[in-house]
Amino acid sequence: MSLRGFSLLLLLVLVVVTAMAVVLAHHHHRQAFIALTAAERERDALNVEFGRLQIEQATWSETNRIEQIAVEKLGMKFPEGNEVVVVQP
């Protein structure tokens, strides 16, 4: 085999190897994009859930609701003026 034939064979092998590397890189890019899309969907779902939880927390911690539970379930009430004791240090 002559030098020219060997060079052509080497170039052909290099072209095939380069083409395979391009295909492999494209495959990795596609897999990374799929993972990114899944992570973005999960992030969006978590943001929606976080918003719901914030609304729920705001609802459960409303002052009038806490006062209503304190009066109905615990029998608590605001002290009258004569029931207030001031402690001096």
| Mean pLDDT, 10 residues at a time, the chain of 89 residues | 91 97 98 98 98 92 85 87 86
pLDDT at 45: 98
Q: How far is CA 64 from CA 1, 52, 58, 68, 85, in A?
A: 95, 21, 12, 6, 25
User: How many other β-carbons are positioned within 10 Å of the β-carbon of residue 23?
Assistant: 10
pLDDT at 48: 98
CA dist., res. 63 & res. 24, Å (int): 60
The pTM for the full model equals 0.59
CA dist., res. 43 & res. 49, Å (int): 10
